[in-house]
Structure 1
Amino acid sequence: MTDPTVATTSDPAAGPAAGPAVGTRVVHRRYVPYSHAHYAGNLVDGAYSLGLFGDVATEMCIVTDGDEGLFASYSDVQFVAPVRAGDVLEVTAELVRAGTRSRVMDFTVHVVARGAATDDAPGAAALLDPPVLATSATGTVVVPPRSARV
């Protein structure tokens, strides 16, 4: 059974030997627990989004290259809207350029649902339509030479 929080829109049957396909996307969904709130208003620090980018980048490298890869750099990070404890996030990586060993990806975090608790409904939450872009980035990961991969 496939984990419903992870979606990959590449052709896994092609396998790593087919090489990385520009346009391949990996999508994760994640609930933000209250234990990650660090600031007033249940705000979560920006590093939380960057950690999620690492997760989707790792899956991207596994899908495209059969290796976890290593994050090398970010060329741009934009914190556009807050992420709060109780949010449900959709985190996306899209492969935009593939070199011999480098993989450049565009990343986004969208808030797709947000807690709307009140005293009368402490567990209330609402879907956001449209989802809110919270963080975007462009980053580069590197993978080992093809000859060194399993």
Structure 2
Amino acid sequence: MSVGLTVVHRRYVPYSHAHYAGNLVDGAYAVAAFGDVATEVCIRTDGDEGLFASYSDVQFKAPMRAGDVLEISATVTRMGTRSRTIDFEARVVCRGRPDRSESAAEVLDPPIVAVTATGTVVVPAT
């Protein structure tokens, strides 16, 4: 059974993705990352990339900024015949510190939970 399987990706948020004042990045950046990590979940559970069917909940809890390092996790919470329910979390684990210098950054301990979601993926019948 794959309930409880967790997959984690990390990615740097490039400055080219900043769209708003303060180098803010739109929430769609995290949602796209959730799709990538869900693909790996489907490959690991079913040997197929699967398809995203829906989100039942998306919560934007804290800002994401260009220069952040995000840790995106996906945990399988339910396995149906062809559907899988997955809980997602995007955490900021490192953040730039332009107040100190142009290239300064720090590790955040604890990380900042920026976005959470629950989604459903479907895989082909076997």
TM range, smaller chain = over 0.9
Note if 1:142 corresponds to 2:104.
Answer: no
Q: Structure 1: any 5+ residue segments left out of the alignment? A: 1-19
Name the % identity.
69
Normalised by the size of structure 2, how large is the TM-score? Answer: 0.98
Q: Structure 2: any 5+ residue segments left out of the alignment? A: none
Distance in 2, Cα, partners of 1:121 & 1:112: 19
Give the number of the structure with larger relative contact order, counting CA–CA contacts within 8 Å between residues 6 or more apart.
2
Distance in 2, Cα, partners of 1:74 & 1:137: 7
Who wins on radius of gyration, i.e. which is larger? 1
Q: Stretches of 4+ moved more than 6 A in 1?
A: none
Normalised by the size of structure 1, how large is the TM-score? Answer: 0.82
Note if 1:85 corresponds to 2:66.
Answer: yes
Distance in 2, Cα, partners of 1:86 & 1:71: 28
Aligned CA-pair RMSD? 0.8
Distance in 1, Cα, partners of 2:63 & 2:37: 20
Matched residue type, 1:94: T
Equivalences for residues 24-103 of structure 1 within 5 A: 24-103=5-84
Can you list the C-alpha shifts for 1:6-39, whole angstroms capped at 9, x where unaligned? Answer: xxxxxxxxxxxxxx51000000000000000000
